[in-house]
């Protein structure tokens, strides 16, 4: 695990700011600063208002990283690691849904400060990077979000933006604006759908009436020529529904770019509810195999996220993607001699005895 | 029914002891057979209402997406993406070195003159393919016996490949001889051959070669191709003549013994059916159905051990439950003639299908839609297409199988010399109703043995998770 939030010392106090630290990038932006590393590993940066320094807990390359710094709480956050191809920004912790397995449980935060700072950060992201805008629910700040996207489409059209949204807040009026954005910026909307039966879906997201809103809005979103990723986390409560959901997606949502079936990330609410939620697909993979078979037969591009290769049947391994971000990915002892470790997504850092799948065996 | 809801079009038919309901795009479900009387008396059970909602037959006001989904799927089912050809059949020569009992019209004697593509044809083909071809297209050489003019095949391939990459070629040959030139062509990885195998040597001799030694040679050549290039290099079609109709097992087993995993059991050549009385037709249909059912039971038995499919039923199963767009010309509606497929005859005349070429040869009717010199005649094509939409046919309009069925006005013309007959009396309809009933009976009764077989056809493999939910 790579720690992204670090303690730091600031020689002054003030509002949060964004800084890129680099000794090689030559630029005339006023957001990039050189850094020094002493013999103990301490990194110090000469910022406009003073000096700040921090001690990285493990050896890592900080060259080109974009940091979110908060002198008041004496913390920095590595929001974009230059040597990672997947970085994300938490746009808000607010949400109108309360999903049983949420990995980032909603809180009523004050988020107004984030957008201008994030916009600065995004202009510093490395060329062609993929940046995930997550939450909470980013579209709760629709006006700010759309403006951010519009600005990016002229300032950084090279970026790939992946927005994780519950798709509950679009209106027909948004469509012309979104369509324009989609024409000039590569945006992928990741939208969760948990079952084809509205009761099951709504139980999981804990919002009555959300299923039809989701479906209506997916059609709206699609009409703006959006790229859409459908996301389904597999839990004990919806696993048996997967084959039906597969059929449903092929019937009604075949405009999506692909469908991601995702293994549970045992953190946040998921960790608290493990007893009710954990589905051990390693001993009962049939619903997943069936969902894939139906999707493939009916022309849906289907992918498995967060599934270690050895936990699904041999002919389904080709659908597994390396979806776990490097900073929170780990492997088990048994993986040591495995011949496919390089291609295997491994496990979330928080995977443990309680969230254990029975059948893990080296290939 | 709820006031805040809409009813969308649906069709129904009794299948087994249940009522099959299909919606506009073929989403189906089964109900008890008194459903319709209760439907309009508002006496549906909540389970029935749920099922009708799932089929998007009842749509709540809060479910606008269902209407959008219906619209979208309906458009996808009827639109033709491009006016470019994706499949072209070429007849470089009409001459043949065999004279099969069921092939009187589609051949000329081996030494006849004036039945081969001319130099002019080749030149005009250059312009034709340039403006009508497309990448990924398939070009099939039919005859006569196209391998009599390997030189023409080579030139046609060369011209086509000068404009498009990623082409596929099929040579339909009787495989009586494999010349050195043909051997050289076979080395092309994007070229396969298709041949006729009616059954073992004795059947071959009776139907086609009239000479045991020729039959032997054909079978040797089939094996040679398979041994040297694998099964993917060669496909084969049987023509089932009257003396085989009692023993479908024989031809199926013969195909298996050659290592084929699929067979296309085509009905006896339709030319023999032309202008028959209805009584005779119904007898023919009956004997065909008997043959076919016997064949299917045999295939079911075989598939306990090995993958095996009947190609046409497999195509129907796939298009109903999986890929929806089957791409079958005699099996689409609107037929969109010449929008992605056509046939160029030995003299440069262009036809919408191979059957229409035959019909025109027997001078029953001229169905040509252009020629290499003048190109495609869009006016004639649109006149044909106007009549090739089953959605506007008074019989099909009410048929529960309409979403899965197509229209074949060329077949109607060949059998009845007109296409304004009542569709339900046509061979096309009776054959398809029979096949659709066969399929949907298995689903209605949830006949797992059959559904597993169908599912293997969908995946073209027995190694699947048996996801029978695909039949719901
Ligand atoms: S043993 Fe480890 S590395 Fe190998 S497939 Fe399983 S989880 Fe992946
Ligand atoms: S041809 Fe027959 S089976 Fe096909 S749609 Fe028309 S009536 Fe139905």
DSSP track, A99-111: -TT-SS-------
Please state, in angstroms and rounded to a whole number, the distance separating the CA atoms of residues A183 and A179: 6
Q: Lowest-pLDDT range, A250-254, B282-286, B345-349? A: B282-286
Q: Are strands A302-305 and A320-321 parallel, antiparallel or unpaired?
A: parallel
Arithmetic mean of pLDDT, A55-77: 90
Q: Is the pLDDT of residue B329 over 80?
A: no
Domain A86-348 has CATH 3.10.50.40: no
Tokens of A62: 């900080």
User: Is A128:A160 a contact under the CB 8 Å cutoff?
Assistant: yes
User: Which of A267, A268, A359 lies closest to A308 in space, CA to CA?
Assistant: A359
User: Is A326:A308 a contact under the CB 8 Å cutoff?
Assistant: no
| Domain boundaries of chain A, sorted by first residue | 1-83, 86-348
Q: Do A293 and B465 touch (CB under 8 A)?
A: yes
Higher pLDDT, B360 or B135: B135
Tokens of A203: 């139980």
What pLDDT score was predicted for residue A98? Answer: 87
Task: State pLDDT tens for residues B257-285.
Answer: 998 999 988 765 544 433 444 556 567 78
Predicted TM-score (pTM) of this structure: 0.90
What pLDDT score was predicted for residue B272? Answer: 40
- Confidence band of B384 (pLDDT split at 50, 70, 90): confident
Tokens of B466: 């048996």
Tokens of A149: 């996207």
Contacts of A126 (CB under 8 A, 6+ apart): A64, A80, A82
Task: State pLDDT tens for residues B91-129.
Answer: 999 888 776 666 655 677 777 788 888 889 899 999 999
Q: Is the pLDDT of residue B326 over 60?
A: no
What pLDDT score was predicted for residue B108? Answer: 79
Position in ligand 1 atom list of the atom nearest CA A331: 2
What pLDDT score was predicted for residue B95? Answer: 86
User: Is A100:A204 a contact under the CB 8 Å cutoff?
Assistant: yes
What pLDDT score was predicted for residue B79? Answer: 67
Task: State pLDDT tens for residues A96-138.
Answer: 888 888 888 888 888 888 899 999 999 999 899 999 999 889 9
Please state, in angstroms and rounded to a whole number, the distance separating the CA atoms of residues B330 and B337: 10
Beta bridge partners of A121: none
Q: Is the pLDDT of residue B242 over 80?
A: no
- Closest-CA distance, B12 to chain A, in angstroms, reads 20
Tokens of A169: 């807040």
Judge whether B386 is closer than 8 Å to chain A, CB to CB. no
A363 CA → ligand 1 middle, Å:
7
Q: What is the per-residue DSSP string for A166-217? A: ---S--TTHHHHHHHHHHHSEEEEEEE---SSHHHHHHHHT-TTHHHHHHHH
Residue given tokens 């075989």 in the structure block: B302
Judge whether A295 is closer than 8 Å to chain B, CB to CB. no
User: Which of A15, A9, A4 lies closest to A116 in space, CA to CA?
Assistant: A15
**What are the start-end ranges of the E strands in B209-290?**
234-237, 262-263
Q: Which residues of B touch A244 (CB under 8 A)?
A: 469, 472
B342 CA → ligand 2 middle, Å:
24
State the DSSP code for B230: -
| CB hemisphere CA count around B431 (13 angstroms) | 26
What pLDDT score was predicted for residue B344? Answer: 93
Q: Is the pLDDT of residue A188 over 90?
A: yes
Higher pLDDT, A27 or A209: A209
Residue A136 buriedness (CB in 10 A; 0-12 / 13-18 / 19+): buried
Arithmetic mean of pLDDT, A24-50: 89
The three-class DSSP label of residue B471 is helix
Judge whether B346 is closer than 8 Å to chain A, CB to CB. no
Arithmetic mean of pLDDT, A45-51: 92
Return the number of other C-beta atoms located less than 10 Å from residue B309's C-beta: 22
Please state, in angstroms and rounded to a whole number, the distance separating the CA atoms of residues B123 and B114: 17
* Alpha-carbon B389 to chain mean position: 17
User: Which of B291, B272, B173, B267 lies closest to B224 in space, CA to CA?
Assistant: B173
- Confidence band of B324 (pLDDT split at 50, 70, 90): low
Looking at chain B, which residues constitute the CATH 3.20.20.70 domain(s)? 87-371
Question: What's chain A's Rg over C-alpha atoms?
Answer: 21
Return the number of other C-beta atoms located less than 10 Å from residue B463's C-beta: 10
Q: Is A123 left (phi over 0), alpha (psi -120 to 50) or beta?
A: alpha
| CB hemisphere CA count around B56 (13 angstroms) | 20
Element of type H or E holding B288: helix B278-302
Higher pLDDT, B388 or B464: B464
Looking at all shown ligands, the one closest to residue B405's CA atom is 2
Interior/surface letters B365-395, b for 16+ CB within 10 angstroms, e for the rest: eebbbbbbeeebeeebbeebbebbbbeebee
Element of type H or E holding B355: helix B354-361
Which residue in A293, A304, A313, A316 has the most chain B C-beta atoms within 10 A of its own C-beta, making it the best mutation to test that interface? A293
Arithmetic mean of pLDDT, A19-41: 88
- Closest-CA distance, B71 to chain A, in angstroms, reads 11
Q: Is the pLDDT of residue B1 over 70?
A: no
What pLDDT score was predicted for residue B211? Answer: 80
Domain B87-371 has CATH 1.10.10.200: no
Tokens of B156: 């046609």
Q: Which residues of B touch A286 (CB under 8 A)?
A: 465
Task: State pLDDT tens for residues B432-461.
Answer: 999 999 999 999 999 999 999 999 999 999
A277 CA → ligand 2 middle, Å:
49
**Cis-peptide into B334, omega within 30 deg:** yes
Ligand 2 mutation target, pool B333, B428, B437, most atoms within 8 A of CB: B428
Judge whether B69 is closer than 8 Å to chain A, CB to CB. yes
- Confidence band of B352 (pLDDT split at 50, 70, 90): confident
Distance set, CA B391 to CA A200, B12, B67, B214, B322 (Å): 38, 15, 19, 48, 22
- Comparing alpha-carbon positions, the chain A residue that sits nearest to B66 is A252
- Confidence band of B395 (pLDDT split at 50, 70, 90): confident
User: Which of B280, B120, B99, B58 lies closest to B207 in space, CA to CA?
Assistant: B99
Identify which of A218, A286, A297 has the shortest CB distance to residue B470: A297
Tokens of B390: 């089953």
B403 CA → ligand 2 middle, Å:
9
What pLDDT score was predicted for residue B282? Answer: 62
Which residue in B315, B327, B469 has the most chain A C-beta atoms within 10 A of its own C-beta, making it the best mutation to test that interface? B469
**HEC letters along A288-308:** HHHHHHHHHHCCCCEEEECCC
Tokens of A268: 């946040």
Mean pLDDT rounded to a whole number for chain A: 93
Q: Is the pLDDT of residue B414 over 90?
A: no
- Closest-CA distance, B78 to chain A, in angstroms, reads 16
Please state, in angstroms and rounded to a whole number, the distance separating the CA atoms of residues A326 and A168: 30
Whether B396 is in the pocket of ligand 2, judged by its Cβ within 6 Å, is yes
Q: Are strands B370-371 and B375-376 parallel, antiparallel or unpaired?
A: antiparallel
Please state, in angstroms and rounded to a whole number, the distance separating the CA atoms of residues B19 and B33: 5
Residue given tokens 């004639």 in the structure block: B380
């Amino acid at each position: 695990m790579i720690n992204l939030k670090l303690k730091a010392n600031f020689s002054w106090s003030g509002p949060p700011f964004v800084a890129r630290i680099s000794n090689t990038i030559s630029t005339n932006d006023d957001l990039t600063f050189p850094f020094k590393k002493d013999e103990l590993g301490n990194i110090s940066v000469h910022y406009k208002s003073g000096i700040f320094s921090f001690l990285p807990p493990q050896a890592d390359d900080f060259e080109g990283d974009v940091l979110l710094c908060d002198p008041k709480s004496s913390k920095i956050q590595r929001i974009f690691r230059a040597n990672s191809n997947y970085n994300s920004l938490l746009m808000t912790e607010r949400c109108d849904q309360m999903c049983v397995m949420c990995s980032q449980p909603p809180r009523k935060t004050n988020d107004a400060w984030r957008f201008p700072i994030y916009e600065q950060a995004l202009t510093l992201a490395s060329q062609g990077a993929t940046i995930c805008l997550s939450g909470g629910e980013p579209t709760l700040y629709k006006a700010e979000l759309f403006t951010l996207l519009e600005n990016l489409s002229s300032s950084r059209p090279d970026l790939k933006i992946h927005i994780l949204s519950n798709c509950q807040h679009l209106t027909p009026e948004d469509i012309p604006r979104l369509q324009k954005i989609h024409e000039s910026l590569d945006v992928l909307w990741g939208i969760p759908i948990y079952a084809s039966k509205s009761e099951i879906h709504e139980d999981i997201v804990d919002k009555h009436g959300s299923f039809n809103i989701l479906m209506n809005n997916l059609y709206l979103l699609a009409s703006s020529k959006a790229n859409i990723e459908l996301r389904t986390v597999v839990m004990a409560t919806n696993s048996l529904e997967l084959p039906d959901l597969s059929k449903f997606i092929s019937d009604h949502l075949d405009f999506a770019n692909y469908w991601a079936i995702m293994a549970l990330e045992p953190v946040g609410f998921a960790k608290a509810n493990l007893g009710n939620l954990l589905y051990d697909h390693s001993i009962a993979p049939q619903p997943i195999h069936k969902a894939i078979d139906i999707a493939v037969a009916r022309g849906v591009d289907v992918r498995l996220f967060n599934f270690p290769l050895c936990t699904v049947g041999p002919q389904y391994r080709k659908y597994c993607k390396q979806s776990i971000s490097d900073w929170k990915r780990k492997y088990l002892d048994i993986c040591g001699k495995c011949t496919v470790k390089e291609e295997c997504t491994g496990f979330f850092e928080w995977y443990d005895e309680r969230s254990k799948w029975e059948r893990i065996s080296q290939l | 029914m709820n006031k805040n809801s809409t009813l969308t079009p649906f069709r129904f038919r009794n299948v087994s002891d249940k009522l099959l309901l299909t919606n506009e795009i073929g989403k189906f479900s089964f109900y008890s057979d008194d459903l319709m009387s209760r439907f309009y008396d508002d006496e549906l059970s909540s389970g029935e209402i749920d099922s009708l909602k799932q089929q998007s037959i009842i749509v709540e006001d809060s479910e606008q997406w269902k209407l959008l989904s219906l619209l979208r799927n309906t458009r996808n089912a009827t639109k033709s993406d491009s006016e470019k050809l994706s499949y072209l059949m070429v007849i470089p020569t009409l001459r043949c070195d065999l004279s099969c009992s069921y092939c009187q019209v589609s051949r000329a004697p081996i030494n006849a003159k004036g039945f081969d593509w001319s130099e002019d044809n080749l030149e005009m083909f250059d312009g034709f393919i340039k403006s009508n071809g497309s990448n990924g297209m398939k070009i099939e050489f039919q005859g006569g016996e196209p391998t009599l003019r390997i030189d023409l095949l080579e030139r046609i391939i060369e011209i086509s490949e000068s404009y498009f990459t990623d082409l596929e070629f099929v040579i339909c040959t009787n495989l009586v001889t494999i010349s050195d030139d043909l051997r050289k062509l076979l080395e092309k990885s994007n070229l396969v051959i298709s041949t006729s195998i009616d059954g073992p040597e004795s059947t071959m001799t009776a139907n086609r070669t009239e000479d045991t030694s020729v039959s032997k040679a054909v079978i040797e050549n089939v094996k040679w191709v398979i041994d040297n290039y694998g099964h993917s290099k060669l496909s084969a079609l049987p023509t089932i003549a009257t003396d085989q109709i009692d023993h479908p097992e024989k031809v199926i087993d013969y195909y298996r013994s050659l290592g084929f995993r699929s067979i296309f059991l085509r009905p006896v050549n339709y030319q023999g059916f032309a202008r028959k009385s209805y009584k005779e037709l119904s007898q023919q249909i009956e004997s065909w159905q008997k043959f076919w059912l016997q064949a299917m039971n045999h295939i079911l038995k075989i598939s306990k051990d090995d993958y095996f499919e009947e190609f046409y039923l497999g195509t129907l199963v796939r298009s109903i439950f999986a890929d929806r767009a089957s791409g079958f010309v005699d099996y689409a509606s609107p037929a969109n003639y010449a929008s992605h497929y056509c046939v160029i005859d030995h003299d440069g005349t262009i036809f919408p299908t191979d059957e229409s070429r035959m019909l025109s040869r027997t001078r029953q009717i001229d169905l040509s839609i252009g020629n290499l010199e003048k190109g495609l005649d869009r006016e004639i094509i649109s006149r044909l297409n106007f009549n090739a939409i089953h959605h506007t046919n008074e019989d099909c309009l009410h048929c529960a199988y309409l979403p899965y069925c197509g229209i074949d006005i060329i077949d109607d013309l060949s059998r009845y010399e007109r296409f304004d007959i009542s569709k339900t009396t046509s061979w096309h309809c009776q054959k398809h109703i029979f096949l659709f009933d066969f399929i949907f009976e298995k689903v209605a009764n949830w006949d797992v043995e059959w559904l597993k077989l169908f599912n293997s056809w969908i995946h073209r493999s027995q190694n699947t998770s048996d996801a029978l939910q695909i039949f719901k």
